[in-house]
Chains A and B, each alone.
Chain A
Amino acid sequence: MSKKDLEVIIATDCGSTTTKAILIEKKGDTYRQTFRGEAPTTVEAPFEDVTKGVLNSITEVEELSGRKLLDGEKIITPNNGNTGADIYVSTSSAGGGLQMMVAGAVKAMTGESAQRCALGAGAIVMDVLASNDGRADHEKIERIRQLRPDMMLLSGGTDGGTVTHVVELAQFLKAADPKPRLGASYKLPVIYAGNNKAHEKITEILGDSTALIITENLRPTLERENLMPARHKIHDIFLEHVMQQAPGYPKLMKMVGAPIMPTPAAVGTMTEKFAKANNFNVLAVDIGGATTDVFSVFNEVFNRTVSANLGMSYSISNVMAEAGLANILRWLPFDIEEQDLRNRLKNKMIRPTTIPQTVEDLQIEHAVAREALRLAFDQHKALAVGLKGVQQERSISDAFDQTSSGASLINVMKLDYVIGSGGILAHSPRRTQSMMMMIDAYQPEGITRMAVDSIFMMPHLGVLAQISEKAALDVFYHDCLVRLGTCLAPKGLAKEGQLAMEWEVTTPDGKKEAGQLRFGDILHVPLDSPKAKLVARPASGFDMGSGPGNKVEAEIEGGVVGLVLDGRGRPFNLAKDASRRRADLGKWYKSMGMYPV
C-alpha cells in the first residue's frame, strides 16, 4: 500500500505495565487521533504473551469506536468502510526495555560516543567500560560477568589507529564470558564498531564465544562521530535476537506493518521530527515511575539520556538518595520532620500505585519531581556535549574565552520548546503545577514555550513517522500536545522589587496586555491564544536573548496556563533561611494559583 492511501491507523505502545492503543483516522486532509484504549501488559506470568494485552487494548478501541478491527487474533487490513485499519504499528518497552553495556578505549572519547549511540537507539546503558575508567582490569572483568545485558557495543580507536586498547577490551570480554539476560542458551550479541584495522583480531577473539556483528567505526576520526550504522545494528539485533526471546514478541512482529521500535527510540524520532519541522531547539522529558528519559535537539543535534533510577514511584527513594533530603525539602512551603518525609517516600516506593490524597502529600510529590527532573537534566547536559579530544585552533583573542572541547550543547537561553510527559507532569490536578515543576527544574532563560503530552502518544507517533511523517505530525499538533503557554524569564540578578522587565503582548485579534515584572516576583497572565506577539524590554543587566538590556520581539504561544513571567532571576536561588524560603514559595505558588488555599 502506498503511503498516500493510509486512512486508518492503529498503533500500540507496550509498556512495562500498560499497553496503550490509539486509533488514527484521516479527516479531510488532516490525520486525527480519534479513540484510545488500554489494557494491562501481559508479558509476565500467567499470560507470558505480549499480544494478549495488545489485543485487549485494541478490543477496547473497537468497543469505543464501533470499528471492527479484529478478526479473532488478527488485525483486519486494509480498512474498508467501518472495518479494519490500513496499518498496525507498535513500540515496546515491556520486560525492562533494551539493556546494553558499552565499551570504548578512552572513556571521554569513544566511551562517550558509544554511550550516545546506545542511548540514541533507545537502550538503557548499564555500564560504560573503558581502558581508563579508573577500575583495575580484574574489576572490569568482574563487572562484565555480573551484568547480564541484552547486547554489548564495543568500540575503540579511530580508523587505522592503534589497536591495542580495543583488542585488550575484547580479551577482557572473552575472559568474562558474559551471558545474555534472556535466553540462557544463546550467545551474547556483540556489536563491534571500532577501529577498522582491528576487525581480524576482534573476530579471532570473540568470533566463537559471542554472536559478533562488525559494523562501521562510530568514531572514525576524532573530529567525526558516525553513530547511525551502529544504531541500525542495535535495532536489527533488538528485533532479531532480544525480541525473539521475549514472551509473545515473535507473534507481535508478524502482526505489525513496520518494524517494532523500542519506546524511547520512537519518542526520540518524534522529538527530532518536531524540532526539524519548526526549526526549534527542543527538550522533551518522560518522567515515569522508575526512570526518566530526556531527549534534546539543539542546533539539529539529537541526544537522549535515560536516568535509569530517577522516577516517581519505584525509584522515588533513589531521588531522595541522589538529591539529598535538603533539596527536596527546599520546595515545600511547610515544615515537615525528616523522619516523616523519609518514611512517606519509602512507603511510596513499596506501594508504588498509591496516590496523594491531600494537598500536602501532592506538594511532597511535586518537590520530588522537581529534583528528579533536575538530576536527569544534569545527567543529560553532561552527555549532550560536543566531541571531546578534538583539536581546536585558537588565536590570541580566544585566550580569554577558553572553552574546552566537549562543551554542553544545551543552552537554556536558546531553548525554544519544552515537552513534558509521564504521570506527574501529564496528570497534575492543575496544569500550572506541571508548568512550574518544569520551570523550577530546568530554569529556562528568555522565551520558552511549554507543553505536555497528556496521554503519552509520542511513542505511537514516533513509530508512525517511519511510515507517514504527515500523519504523525498532524496528530502531534492537534491531539498529542497540550499547550501550556510560554515562560518569560529574564536572565540576571537584582534587588528584590527592582524592575526586571517591561512587557507587552498582542494577540492576533488585537487585544493587548502590558505590564512590568519586578525582581523576586512571578506573574501569571492567562493567555489561550495559540499565537501572540511579545515585545519585552529587559532592564539594564537583564537578558531576554538579545543581550543585557536589549529589546526582544518574538512570537509566543498561549495555552491552558498562559504566560508565566518569572522574575526570580537566573541563576535562580532559593533563600537559605527556611522561614524566608517558605514565605517566598507561598507567595509564588499563590500568584500562580498552584494549589487550593
Chain B
Amino acid sequence: MAHAYTPGLKVMPCTLFRKKRLLPIPGKVLVADGKEVDATDMVAQTELPGKVFPLNVANRLGCMPEEIKDFLLKKEGDPVKKGETIAENKPFFKFMKTAIDSPIDGTVDSISHLTGQMMLREPPKVLPLQAYVKGRVVEVTPDFGVTIESEGTFIQGIFGIGGETNGEILMAAKSPDEELMPEALTEACRGKIVIGGKHAGLTTIKRAVELGVKAIVVGGIHDRDLRQLLGYDIGVAVTGTEQVGLTVIVTEGFGMIPMAEYTFKLLASRNGEKASVSGATQIRAGVMRPEIIVPGYPKNVTECRKDQGRGWIEPGDPIRIIREPHFGVIGTVKSLPPELTMIGSESHARVLEVTLDGGEVIVIPRANIEVLEK
C-alpha cells in the first residue's frame, strides 16, 4: 500500500515517557534512583556564580593603575557590603579626599594593577530544578540531574509561549470550535490550566493573567494579539522564557482554527486532573514543541501505548491541511500518487488526494498536511 513520510504532533491518551531534568551547569542532585517524585519536588540544584561589577578605581581616584594598591582597603577574596568604602585616596587636604563605596554586597573577585580595575562579584544565586512531572527517577546523571519516567496523557501543541507550570485542567469551552471569551473565565479558573476551543483573543488572555490562570490551551491565536501581549514580534520560534504572567499553548496554528476534536475530547476526559505544561517551542535543530502532560490513565483507557512514532500516512488516514488555500480543513487521504504533479503555483511537488467531509476530492502537496490520530 502506498504511504508517505509525514511529521505530526503527538496526541496520546496514555504513553510511557521519560523526561530528562538537567542543570545547565554542574550542581547537586537531590534525589536518588528509584525515588517517586511529585511535579513540584526539587530534584537538583546549583549555584549560579554572582554577577560581576567592574570598578575602575584608578579613574575614580585620579591615579595611575599601578598606584591603586596604596589606596585599596580590601584585597582579593574579601567580602564587601553595599555602601562600604573599599578604596580611598590620602590627599594632603582632607576636603580633597575621594572614597569609593561598594555598589553591591559580595566579594572582591580580582584587582588589576595594569588597568586599575577592581572586579566585585555578587553572592551566587541558587538555581533549583523541579521534577516538572510526577513519576519515578530511573537514572541519575551525577552533578547534573535525573531522568524521570512516567505514564500518562501526552499532547503536543504547535506553538507556545511561557515556561513550565502545573495546575488542574479546567474545560472552559463546550466544543472545539467555540471561541474562548473573557466572560468564560471566572474565579474558578485561578491556578488552573484552562482549555478553550478555536481561539483566544488579547482581552481573554489579559483577563486570564488578571485571574492568575496558569496556562491557556486553544486552537489558535492571532499574531497581532501575540505582538501586543509581548510588546514585540517573535522573529524566530525559540520561546519558553517569556514573562507574560501565564503560559499559552496553541494546538493548531495562527488564526481562528478549531482545536482538533480528538485533542479536545482527550483533554476533556482529563478535566479536573493535575497536569504539567510547558510553552517552550524551538523549531530549528533539536525541535521542541509545547506540551501538556497528565500523569495516569484516562478513565476509559486501560492500556498504555508506547510511542510507536509512525511517521507516514496511507490512504484512509485523517489529515489536516496546514497551508492556504484550505488551511485548517480536515479530510481523509484518498490516494498518494507517486509522480511529481504541477500545483497551482506551477511548482512540481509530491501530492495527495484528499476527500473532504462533503465528498469533494482536492489535490494538496504532501508538505502541506499533518496526520491526525485516529
Contacts and interface: CB of A to CB of B under 8 A. Distances in A.
Given A164-B114, A167-B114, A354-B322, 6 more contacts: A137-B54, A171-B110, A175-B109, A350-B253, A362-B347, A429-B345
A392 interface: no
A138 interface: yes
B110 A96 contact: no
A399 interface: no
A96 B285 contact: yes
A549 to B, nearest CB: 41
B158 interface: yes
A86 B268 CA distance: 63
Given A347-B253, A347-B327, A354-B368, A361 B347 contact: no
A352 B232 CA distance: 21
Interface stretch (A335-343, A440-448, A521-529, A577-585): A335-343
A347 B367 contact: no
A308 to B, nearest CB: 9
B374 interface: no
Nearest to B6: A353
Interface string A169-204: 001101111010000100000000000000001000
13 contacts: A164-B114, A314-B236, A317-B235, A317-B236, A342-B227, A343-B253, A346-B234, A350-B253, A353-B7, A353-B367, A354-B322, A357-B344, A357-B368
A356 B349 CA distance: 10
Interface stretch (A6-14, A29-37, A279-287, A318-326): A318-326
B357 to A, nearest CB: 20
B254 A342 contact: yes
A370 B110 CA distance: 51
B112 A171 contact: yes
Nearest to B112: A171
Contact of B110 (A175, A290, A351): A175
Contacts of B158: 350-351
Contacts of B367: 353-355
B324 A361 contact: yes
A317 B233 CA distance: 8
Given A314-B236, A347-B253, A356-B345, A138 B285 contact: no
A33 to B, nearest CB: 22
Interface in B143-178: 158-159
Interface string B189-223: 00000000000000000000000000000000011
A346 B223 contact: yes
Interface in B110-157: 110, 112, 114-115, 117, 119, 121
A142 interface: yes
A361 B323 CA distance: 9
B364 interface: yes
A586 interface: no
Contacts of B253: 343, 346-347, 350-351
Contact of A168 (B51, B115, B365): B115
B54 A354 contact: no
* Interface SS of chain A: helix
Given A137-B54, A171-B117, A179-B25, A343 B112 contact: no
Contacts of B365: 354-355, 357
Interface of B: 7, 25-26, 49, 51-54, 65, 109-110, 112, 114-115, 117, 119, 121, 158-159, 222-224, 226-227, 232-237, 253-255, 281, 283-286, 322-325, 327, 343-347, 349, 364-365, 367-368, 370
B222 A342 contact: yes
Contact of A315 (B65, B222, B236, B344): B236
Given A138-B53, A350-B159, A427 B323 contact: no
A350 B49 CA distance: 35
A354 B323 contact: yes
A349 B238 CA distance: 11
Contacts of A171: 54, 110, 112, 115, 117, 119
Nearest to A428: B347
B52 A175 contact: yes
A546 B257 CA distance: 58
Contacts of A320: 233
A460 B283 CA distance: 27
B345 A342 contact: no
A571 interface: no
A349 B236 CA distance: 8
A162 to B, nearest CB: 11
B285 A44 contact: yes
A309 interface: yes
A342 B110 contact: no
In this complex, which of A16, A356, A361 has the most chain B Cβ atoms within 10 angstroms of its Cβ?
A356
A407 interface: no
Contact of B285 (A16, A201, A309): A16
A563 B112 CA distance: 65
A360 B325 CA distance: 9
A430 to B, nearest CB: 7
B115 A141 contact: no
A163 interface: yes
Given A346-B254, A355-B367, A167 B112 contact: yes
A344 interface: yes
A343 B222 contact: yes
A290 B284 contact: yes
Nearest to B344: A358
Contacts of B323: 347, 351, 354-357, 361
Contacts of A96: 284-285
Contacts of A430: 346
A189 to B, nearest CB: 19
Contacts of B347: 355-356, 362, 427, 429
B235 A95 contact: no
A357 B236 contact: no
Contacts of A141: 51-52, 54
A309 B109 contact: no
B283 A349 contact: yes
A359 interface: yes
A339 B222 contact: yes
A596 interface: yes
A358 B25 CA distance: 49
Nearest to B115: A168
Contact of B346 (A184, A344, A429): A429
Contact of A362 (B223, B224, B226, B345): B345
A177 B345 contact: no
Given A344-B324, A357-B365, A177 B51 contact: no
A357 B281 CA distance: 26
Nearest to A289: B284
Contacts of A201: 114
Contacts of A352: 283
A328 B146 CA distance: 47
A322 B234 CA distance: 11
Contacts of B235: 309, 315, 317-318, 321-322
Interface string A16-57: 100000000000000000000000000110000000000000
Interface string A194-228: 00000001000000000000000000000000000
A350 B237 contact: yes
A320 B158 CA distance: 20
A290 B95 CA distance: 61
A249 B159 CA distance: 33
Contacts of B112: 167-168, 171
A358 B159 contact: no
B344 A350 contact: no
B351 to A, nearest CB: 9
In this complex, which of A96, A201, A343, A359 has the most chain B Cβ atoms within 10 angstroms of its Cβ?
A343
Contacts of A346: 159, 223, 226, 234, 253-254
Nearest to A148: B24
Contact of A343 (B255, B322, B345): B255
A325 to B, nearest CB: 10
Contact of B115 (A44, A164, A314, A338): A164
B234 A317 contact: yes
Contacts of A172: 52, 54
